[in-house]
A and B are shown apart, each in its own frame.
Chain A
Amino acid sequence: MEKQTSPYKWGMVIDLDRCTGCGACVVACQAENNVGICEKKEISEGRNMHWLRIERFWLGEYPDVRVRFLPVMCQHCHDAPCEPVCPVYASYHNPDGLNGQVYVRCVGTRYCGNNCPYAVRVFNFYPHEWPKPLDNQLSPDVTVRSRGVMEKCSFCIQRIRRAKEEATAEGRLVRDGEVQPACAQTCPSEAMTFGNLADLRSRAARLARSPRRFHLLEHLGTHPSVIYLKGGGREHV
């Protein structure tokens, strides 16, 4: 059985030398994808629902303290450990290179969450509600998940679908820069670039060829679609 092919291979390039750790991407993701609003109790129990988290590391001693920021979202691995372990195919690989999560199919065994080395999968332990008038802010293109279901960053697949539909209607491929996930769109320092890595002339593909590139947890061989850039060799903020 041959693998299905596609002209798209979506990827994200995150430039850590540009990231200021402002957290705007996290808020944008929450707004765009109907991510559950968590109370303080939930978060203190370790059950926050952030699809995208900014990891913050302090280095050095006062007065020579530095901080590093690392935005981590679903890496959309090409050899994703979370996909084969789902007993019901709720987690699967789509031909565009995305790791898909089918909310209605998920039975909630949470095996995928355990097997994800990046710990980017979140589980709806609590039922999340949007009391009126907050329900007006819900994005109509995105499912509102019930409790007991796993979820994670989808590279704003609803935006990708919309762009692909428009492109197909016009008989062309999606143009570079036409689709931007909420996080990349919002980042004030343009640290995040999303694009089609199969199109070698796209901005994302060009940035991904930078000598500053690295993958997270590369030794695990998950082949993530997220490429990080960081000036190598020197400790600088």
Chain B
Amino acid sequence: MSDAEVTVKSATRVNDELLSSLRPPTLAWYLLAFFLGVVVACGLAAFTWQMMNGMYVTGKNRPVMWGFYITGFVFWVGLSHSGTMVSSILRLSRANWRRPILRAAEAMTVFSITVAGLFPLIHLGRNWTFFYMIPYPNQRGLWPNFRSPLLWDMTAITAYIIGSSLFLYLGLLPDLAVVRDRTTGWRHKMYAVLAMGWRGSAHEWSVYHKASTLMAALIIPVAVSVHSIVAWDFAVTVVPGWHSTIFPPYFVIGAILSGVAAVITLMITIRKVFHLEDYLTPLHFDNMGKLLLVISLLWTYAYFVEVQITWYAHEPIEWEVFSFLSSRYTPQLLIMLVGNSLLPIIFLCFKKLRRSIGVMLVVSLWVNVAMFIERFLIIVPTLSHKNMPFAWGSYSPSLVETLVNLGALAGFVLLFILFAKFFPIVAISDVRELDVRKAEVPMGRTRVPSIAEKE
């Protein structure tokens, strides 16, 4: 009887702890939301200023016609690979340590792709005519040009927003039932509608398990294709330095690097804020650190390959791009190399450092700063020095562009804290599933933990 009571109590306790973020908001939460709202408003104001006055408020010119906005776009699309890669791959490989991490990663995906989808609208010269790019029968009889990589972008991002939202919702379904059962009033009604009457019957779980596996398998090709398509925005051009077949895999690797680092940062944050120390243990950071190390090695390899073949063949135009990059943007290049390669490879080789929250925070934050710089260094120096030397130029970001990018970041964080206020930030049923299946089994002279697996 006492064992059974302990099991039931701990389930309730688990629910209480994991649902602590759904408490009514505190003053600190309101202050944070207000601050983020102010930053978002600044970004909106900057964008409105640009729309009313003209693109001259940005730093763009001829020949550098893309700058901070497209940097932001590629960066946020890259970040959106966090959820799919971390969540799907860990799900499909049945790694048990994935359980507390999934929800935050999947939510991050949805919000970062939403933010990313705003940038193609922000960077237009005539934003109010954006609907020309939407395929709908119209009085002009004209359709958009599907041969353009920008239309592939639009299709892919639409597919990914819908796909990742559905993926997030699928993961949320059993947890929505738990929250539904613990709330009253308007909240209860809301969760009851969202939970679609989920009861947790054996049949529902069986179908759910099959559906989760299928969704995880389907979302990975979509994620890879989305970032490949964004890479093709650059790779299908004749611009020297962009026209390179390594771009799609290089971008996907960079996206996974960026995403894994962002998930680590997020894990550290929610662990601190929601007191989830029992659920996000050093083991989880250890494993995420190993993942980050592997991806960082891959990225280093891809970057090395790209530069090495440019250096060796020494085609004047291609080499000029890299030579200009390294002379004009030297500090940025160094920050990027340190953040993406040096720090992860050196620090994450050591178990003790992987398990240290402070080290992981520094490494993961620096990776994302370095990734933003990396996107910038792909786009701007290449455009600055194209084929005709008389038309070479340079670019510096303006205040408007910086504010818009900061507003996007604040918007992402705001969406996230709103999500955490209404939905469980850790996958409750996933975490408790492990508790149910774990047992200590005597083996020889010791007792070892054993986990009952599904077939």
Contact across chains for A107 and B386 when beta carbons are under 8 A apart: no
Contact across chains for B132 and A45 when beta carbons are under 8 A apart: no
Number of interface residues of A (CB under 8 A): 46
Which of A47, A107, A222 has most B Cβ within 10 Å?
A107
Contact across chains for B125 and A87 when beta carbons are under 8 A apart: no
Task: Give chain A residues whose Cβ lies under 8 Å from the Cβ of B147.
Answer: 84
B192 at the interface (CB under 8 A from A): no
CB distance from B112 to the nearest CB of A (A): 22
Cα distance A105–B142 when bound, in Å?
10
Contact across chains for A107 and B62 when beta carbons are under 8 A apart: no
Residues 44-89 of A contacting B (Cβ, < 8 Å): 45-48, 53, 55-57, 70, 72, 81, 84-89
Contacts A117-B238, A119-B63; A84 near B145 (Cβ below 8 A): yes
User: Which residue of chain B has its CB nearest to the CB of A46?
Assistant: B61
Task: Give chain A residues whose Cβ lies under 8 Å from the Cβ of B123.
Answer: 109-110
Instruction: Name the prevailing secondary structure of the B interface residues.
Output: loop
B189 at the interface (CB under 8 A from A): no
Contact across chains for A110 and B125 when beta carbons are under 8 A apart: yes
Residues 207-224 of A contacting B (Cβ, < 8 Å): 217, 220, 222
User: Which residue of chain A has its CB nearest to the CB of B65?
Assistant: A110
Of B283-291, B293-301, B388-396, B401-409, the stretch lying at the interface with chain A is B388-396
Cα distance A117–B65 when bound, in Å?
13
User: Which residue of chain B has its CB nearest to the CB of A217?
Assistant: B387
Residues 75-128 of A contacting B (Cβ, < 8 Å): 81, 84-89, 105-111, 113-115, 117-119, 121-127
A197 at the interface (CB under 8 A from B): no
Contact across chains for B390 and A55 when beta carbons are under 8 A apart: yes
Contacts A119-B388, A146-B126, A148-B54; A87 near B61 (Cβ below 8 A): no
A182 at the interface (CB under 8 A from B): no
CB distance from B131 to the nearest CB of A (A): 9
A147 at the interface (CB under 8 A from B): yes
Contact across chains for B125 and A55 when beta carbons are under 8 A apart: no
Name the one of B61, B125, B144, B239 contacting A149, with C-beta atoms under 8 angstroms: B125
B222 at the interface (CB under 8 A from A): no
Task: Give chain A residues whose Cβ lies under 8 Å from the Cβ of B151.
Answer: 87
B274 at the interface (CB under 8 A from A): no
B166 at the interface (CB under 8 A from A): no
Contact across chains for B124 and A107 when beta carbons are under 8 A apart: yes
Task: Give chain B residues whose Cβ lies under 8 Å from the Cβ of A118.
Answer: 387-388, 391
Task: Give chain B residues whose Cβ lies under 8 Å from the Cβ of A146.
Answer: 126
User: Which residue of chain B has its CB nearest to the CB of A148?
Assistant: B125
Number of interface residues of B (CB under 8 A): 43
B130 at the interface (CB under 8 A from A): yes
Name the one of A55, A81, A111, A122 contacting B62, with C-beta atoms under 8 angstroms: A122
Which of A48, A88, A105, A126 has most B Cβ within 10 Å?
A88
Contact across chains for A108 and B125 when beta carbons are under 8 A apart: yes
Task: Give chain B residues whose Cβ lies under 8 Å from the Cβ of A124.
Answer: 54, 125
Cα distance A87–B41 when bound, in Å?
30
User: Which residue of chain B has its CB nearest to the CB of A126?
Assistant: B56
Residues 12-58 of B contacting A (Cβ, < 8 Å): 54-56, 58
User: Which residue of chain B has its CB nearest to the CB of A55?
Assistant: B390
CB distance from A77 to the nearest CB of B (A): 10
B446 at the interface (CB under 8 A from A): no
Contact across chains for A88 and B126 when beta carbons are under 8 A apart: no
CB distance from A129 to the nearest CB of B (A): 12
Q: What are the interface flags for A24-56 relative to B under an 8 Å C-beta threshold, 1 for contact and 0 otherwise?
A: 000000000000000000100111100001011
Cα distance A81–B239 when bound, in Å?
10
Task: Give chain B residues whose Cβ lies under 8 Å from the Cβ of A117.
Answer: 238-239, 386-388
Contact across chains for B144 and A88 when beta carbons are under 8 A apart: yes
Contact across chains for A148 and B150 when beta carbons are under 8 A apart: no
Contact across chains for A147 and B132 when beta carbons are under 8 A apart: no
CB distance from B425 to the nearest CB of A (A): 37
Residues 133-160 of A contacting B (Cβ, < 8 Å): 146-150
Contact across chains for B55 and A147 when beta carbons are under 8 A apart: yes
Task: Give chain A residues whose Cβ lies under 8 Å from the Cβ of B127.
Answer: 108, 148
Contacts A72-B388, A107-B129, A107-B130; A125 near B56 (Cβ below 8 A): yes
Contact across chains for A81 and B132 when beta carbons are under 8 A apart: no
CB distance from A223 to the nearest CB of B (A): 13
Cα distance A65–B55 when bound, in Å?
40
CB distance from B455 to the nearest CB of A (A): 48
Contacts A81-B238, A87-B133, A89-B142; A113 near B124 (Cβ below 8 A): no
Q: What are the interface flags for B130-147 relative to A under an 8 Å C-beta threshold, 1 for contact and 0 otherwise?
A: 101100000000101101
Cα distance A85–B148 when bound, in Å?
4
CB distance from B61 to the nearest CB of A (A): 3
Cα distance A130–B62 when bound, in Å?
22
Name the one of B54, B63, B133 contacting A88, with C-beta atoms under 8 angstroms: B133
Cα distance A47–B57 when bound, in Å?
12
B416 at the interface (CB under 8 A from A): no
Contact across chains for B124 and A109 when beta carbons are under 8 A apart: yes
User: Which residue of chain A has its CB nearest to the CB of B55?
Assistant: A125
Task: Give chain A residues whose Cβ lies under 8 Å from the Cβ of B56.
Answer: 42, 45, 47, 125-126
User: Which residue of chain B has its CB nearest to the CB of A128?
Assistant: B54
Cα distance A146–B147 when bound, in Å?
26
Q: What are the interface flags for A147-190 relative to B under an 8 Å C-beta threshold, 1 for contact and 0 otherwise?
A: 11110000000000000000000000000000000000000000
Contacts A119-B62, A123-B65, A125-B54; A107 near B125 (Cβ below 8 A): yes
Q: What are the interface flags for B179-219 relative to A under an 8 Å C-beta threshold, 1 for contact and 0 otherwise?
A: 00000000000000000000000000000000000000000
Contacts A47-B62, A88-B133, A115-B238; A106 near B126 (Cβ below 8 A): yes
Task: Give chain A residues whose Cβ lies under 8 Å from the Cβ of B423.
Answer: none
Contact across chains for A107 and B126 when beta carbons are under 8 A apart: yes
Interface residues of B, Cβ cutoff 8 Å to A? 54-56, 58, 60-66, 120, 123-127, 129-130, 132-133, 142, 144-145, 147-151, 154, 233, 236-239, 383, 386-388, 390-391, 393-394
Given contacts A85-B149, A118-B388, list 5 more A-B pairs with CB under 8 A. Answer: A87-B144, A87-B151, A89-B145, A110-B123, A150-B125
The 9 closest A-B pairs by CB, nearest first: A108-B125, A148-B125, A46-B61, A119-B391, A110-B65, A148-B126, A55-B390, A87-B150, A125-B56
